């Protein structure tokens, strides 16, 4: 969590090897991310981490199942092995009837669930979500947060989500508050509701 420009998205980007830090070290699951070569960074983005962006970022030219398969295609896997996995993921996320639809035919919530399915194709240990509900209504957002929490448990995946919404943070087990590029607070949310999270975060940002 953090205010605009605090560096929370930047943190996510360096965790996902989408950007390189100016200094320091980054380790994800025991792997040094900051020293990866271009090729290794690409493989890491493909299989070592899943990314869900704010603006769905599905390829408009592909169907839902093709979007989910895409990382596998990029890795050179055959469709015979990819398709069943992709369909299973879509089914798990309640989208089996949308498998053949293009993004333009889906709602915002559905598109975001497809993006989550794509991020889970290689069962990464970490899933990065950059304000995944920023473009959704509150009800759809609520459903998506619940989905992310379930996915974290079902797939044994650590979900790192950037958000400025306390309601979203309340679904997480741990909150890092970022301010001016530094971690201002780090607390667990057990026993806290959205209001409690918001108060705690506000105090950290005002300090």
Partner 1 sequence: MRAAWRLARSALWTRKSRSALLAAAVTLSTALVAAVACAMGSVNAAVEDQLASQFGTAQARLRPAGTGKVIPFSVLEQARAWAGVERADGVRQTTSSVAFDATLFEQQQGGAWERVTRPLGSEALLTGYAAGDERLLATGLIAGRLPEAPGEIVIDALLAQRMTAAFIGEHLTRPAIELASVELPHLAQATPDLPERVGSDAEADRLNALVGPRPGDTLRSVRLFGRDIPLTVVGVSRPPPLGGRPQASALLATVDRLAGGERGLTEIALHLEDGTDAEAFVASERGGLPAGVLLQTTERITSGIERNLDSNKVGFIIASVLAFMSAAFIIMTGLTTGLAEQQRSLAVVRAIGATRGQLAIAQLLTGGVTGLTGALLGTPLGVLMAWTLLAVFRDCGPGGRRVPPVTLTVAVLGSVLAGLGGALWPAYRASRLRPIEAMATRASAISNRLLVGVGVAGLLGIGAMIAIVGGSDDGQFVFWGYATIGLPAMFIGYFLVSVPAAVLCGVLLGPVISRVLGLPRGLLTRVIRATPFRHGFTAGAMMAGLALMVSIWTNGGSVMRDWLGRIEFPDAFVSGLALSPEAQARIDALPFVNATAAITLHPVEVDFFGVRALQQYKTTFVAFEPTPFMEMAALTFVEGDEDTARARLEAGGAVIVAREFRVAQGLGLGDTFICRGADGVEHEFEIVGVVTSPGLELVSKFFNIGDEFIDQALHAVFGSRKDLRERFGSDAIQLIQVDLADDADDAEAIATIRRELFGAGILDAGSGRQIKQQILTFVGGSLVVFSAVAVGSMLVACFGVANLIVAGIHARRYELGVLRAIGGSRGLLVRLVAGEAIVIALAACVVGTCMGVQAAWAGQRLYETLIGIGDLRRVPPSDAILWGCVFVLSLTLLAAAPAAAWLNRRRPVELVAGCG
Residues near partner 1, by CB under 8 A? 13, 16, 18-19, 38-39, 42-43, 45-47, 51, 53, 55-62, 66, 70-71, 73-76, 103-104, 118-119
Q: State how far the Cα of 48 lies from the Cα of 154, in Å rounded to an integer.
A: 17
Least distance from partner 1 to the Cβ atom of residue 39, Å? 7
Q: Least separation, in Å, of the C-beta of 122 and partner 1?
A: 9
Shortest reach from residue 109's CB to partner 1, in Å: 14
50 vs 166, beta carbon nearer partner 1: 50
In angstroms, give the least distance from the CB of 89 to partner 1: 14
Min separation Cβ 166 and partner 1, Å: 26
Q: How far is the CB of 59 from partner 1 (least distance, A)?
A: 5
Nearest residue (CB) to partner 1, 41 versus 176: 41
Distance CA 127, CA 9 (A): 14
**Residue 7 to residue 36: CA distance in whole angstroms:** 22
Q: Provide the 10 A C-beta neighbour count for residue 207.
A: 9
Long-range interactions of 104-108: CB distance < 8 A, separation 24+: 104/60, 106/64, 107/140, 108/56, 108/135, 108/136, 108/137, 108/140
Which C-beta is closer to partner 1: that of 111 or that of 189? 111
Of 67 and 189, the one with the shorter C-beta distance to partner 1 is: 67
Say which residues have a Cβ less than 8 Å from residue 184's Cβ, sequence separation at least 6.
2, 177, 178, 204, 205, 207
Please, which residue, 25 or 38, has the CB nearer to partner 1?
38
Phi, psi (deg, nearest 5) at residue 121: -55, -45
Between residues 128 and 184, which has the closer beta carbon with respect to partner 1?
A: 128
Place of tokens 């040094």: 32
Residue 27: phi and psi, rounded to 5, are -125, 130
């Amino acid at each position: 969590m953090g205010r605009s420009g605090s560096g929370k998205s930047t943190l996510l980007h360096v965790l996902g090897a989408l950007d390189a830090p100016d200094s320091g070290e980054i380790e994800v699951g025991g792997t040094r991310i900051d020293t990866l070569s271009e090729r290794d960074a690409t493989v890491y983005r493909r299989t070592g981490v899943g990314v869900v962006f704010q603006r769905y970022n599905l390829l408009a030219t592909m169907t839902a199942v093709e979007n989910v398969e895409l990382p596998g295609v990029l890795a050179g896997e055959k469709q015979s092995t990819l398709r069943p996995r992709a369909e299973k993921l879509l089914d798990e996320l309640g989208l089996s009837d949308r498998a053949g639809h293009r993004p333009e035919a889906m709602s915002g919530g559905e598109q975001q669930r497809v993006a989550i399915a794509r991020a889970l194709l290689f069962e990464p240990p970490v899933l990065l979500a950059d304000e995944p509900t920023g473009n959704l209504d509150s009800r759809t957002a609520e459903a998506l947060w619940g989905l992310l929490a379930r996915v974290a448990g079902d797939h044994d995946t650590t979900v790192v989500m950037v958000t400025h919404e306390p309601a979203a943070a309340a679904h997480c087990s741990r909150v890092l508050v970022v301010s001016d590029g530094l971690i201002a607070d780090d607390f667990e949310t057990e026993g806290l509701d959205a209001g409690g999270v918001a108060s705690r975060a506000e105090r950290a940002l005002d300090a």
